[in-house]
């Protein structure tokens, strides 16, 4: 609840918090370290979101006559980290096209429950959104693989392609492992909704710590954690539902300017709760 408190403050207070989280600014863009629990867009039950305060933020960063900033891409509500805004619509359109044509290098950090095997690799499995039929019907992204194993003889069989499925590719590598968890570096090559979360949970069997949505398929329930993880976090399983999603947009590299001649590399530190979890789980990057 504390982490999501920015949703409830006055828009001016939110804009000031985002201004304090600015990590880079020039005549073309402003780069923020997006806080946890803050939606990018409005919707049912959303009191505050990033887009609502872009006019106020522009005035705080520039002057009272400044035009509103423009959103260049989006991050999920629970994801923290690098977020790019543009001063002009032309610059925003140009940067959106860079994302669409995969000319932006994106690096994420996540703490996973479990250790991916092998320790480094590529998950390349298409994804699709499906309805989960349970006592609480809801929608989730899931895998739509092109192949399956024959139950009779174990042969690899090609499946008829799901026409709604989107191609999804994620590179990953383990940076540190301890306490039945891993710190992972992730590079999504494509940009499908909830791609990293689904590839880790359903592709590698290692859901992100605090990802209560994708730790199960057919139910909405808190994530079940190993004993050693609960012990290190000083947490009871009954309180696991309060764990936030540990997914952070660590770095973005992209070309700026009309000619694309200015290449910038933007890095954002993970939030305090992420660092605290790393310490508790003894996921020491320096030792690895």
Annotated catalytic residue within 76, 153, 211, 286: 76
The answer to whether 76 touches 244, Cβ cutoff 8 Å, is no
d(CA 76, CA 72): 14
d(CA 249, CA 77): 12
The answer to whether 76 is a known catalytic residue is yes
User: Is residue 206 scored above 50 in pLDDT?
Assistant: yes
Interstrand relation of 169-178 and 247-256 (parallel, antiparallel or unpaired): unpaired
Q: Which residues, including other chains, have CB under 8 Å from residue 151's CB and lie 6 or more apart?
A: none
Cis, bond preceding 288 (omega within 30 deg of 0): no
DSSP 70-83: EE-----TT-EEEE
User: Is residue 212 scored above 90 in pLDDT?
Assistant: yes
Question: What pLDDT is recorded for position 258?
Answer: 74
Residues linked to residue 65 through DSSP beta bridges, in sequence order: none
**Residue of 69, 71, 124 whose CA lies nearest to 99:** 71
| pTM (2 d.p.) | 0.92
Residues linked to residue 132 through DSSP beta bridges, in sequence order: 138
> What is the distance, to the nearest Å, from the Cα of residue 117 to the centroid of all Cα atoms in its chain?
22
Identify the band that residue 215 occupies on the pLDDT scale cut at 50, 70 and 90: very high
Give per-residue pLDDT as tens, 140-155: 999 999 888 888 888 9
The answer to whether 152 touches 197, Cβ cutoff 8 Å, is no
Angstrom CA distances, 229 to 37, 57, 113, 182, stand at: 23, 40, 9, 11
**Residue of 184, 203, 183, 181 whose CA lies nearest to 192:** 203
Q: What's the rounded mean pLDDT across residues 32-50?
A: 89
Give per-residue pLDDT as tens, 67-112: 999 999 999 999 999 999 999 999 999 999 999 999 999 999 999 9
User: Is residue 247 scored above 60 in pLDDT?
Assistant: yes
Question: What pLDDT is recorded for position 288?
Answer: 43
What are all long-range contacts of 265-273, with beta carbons under 8 Å and residues at least 24 apart?
Answer: 266/23, 266/24, 266/31, 266/82, 266/84, 267/23, 267/82, 268/23, 268/33, 268/80, 268/81, 268/82, 269/33, 270/80, 270/81, 270/109, 271/35, 271/36, 271/80, 273/3, 273/36, 273/244
């Amino acid at each position: 609840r504390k982490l999501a408190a920015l949703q409830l403050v006055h828009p001016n207070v939110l804009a000031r918090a985002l201004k304090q989280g600015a990590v880079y600014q020039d005549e073309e863009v402003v780069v923020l370290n997006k806080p946890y629990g803050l939606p990018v867009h409005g919707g049912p039950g959303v009191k505050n979101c990033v887009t609502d305060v872009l006019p106020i933020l522009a005035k705080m960063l520039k002057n009272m006559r400044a035009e509103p900033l423009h959103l260049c891409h989006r991050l999920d509500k629970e994801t923290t980290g690098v977020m790019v805004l543009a001063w002009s619509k032309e610059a925003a359109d140009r940067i959106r096209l860079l994302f669409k044509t995969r000319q932006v290098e994106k690096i994420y950090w996540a703490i996973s429950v479990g250790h991916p095997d092998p320790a480094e690799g590529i998950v390349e499995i298409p994804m699709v959104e499906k309805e989960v039929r349970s006592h609480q019907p809801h929608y989730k992204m899931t895998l739509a693989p092109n192949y399956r194993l024959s139950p009779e003889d174990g042969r690899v069989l090609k499946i008829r392609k799901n026409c709604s499925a989107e191609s999804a590719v994620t590179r990953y590598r383990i940076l540190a492992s301890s306490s039945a968890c891993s710190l992972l570096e992730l590079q999504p090559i494509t940009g499908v909704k909830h791609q990293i979360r689904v590839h880790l949970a359903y592709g590698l069997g290692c859901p992100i710590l605090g990802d209560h949505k994708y730790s199960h398929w057919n139910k909405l329930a808190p994530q079940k954690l190993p004993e050693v993880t609960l012990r290190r976090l000083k947490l009871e399983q009954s309180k696991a539902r309060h764990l936030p999603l540990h997914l952070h947009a660590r770095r973005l590299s992209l070309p700026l300017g009309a000619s694309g001649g200015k290449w910038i590399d933007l890095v954002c530190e993970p939030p305090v709760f992420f660092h605290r979890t790393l310490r508790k789980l003894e996921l020491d990057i320096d030792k690895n």
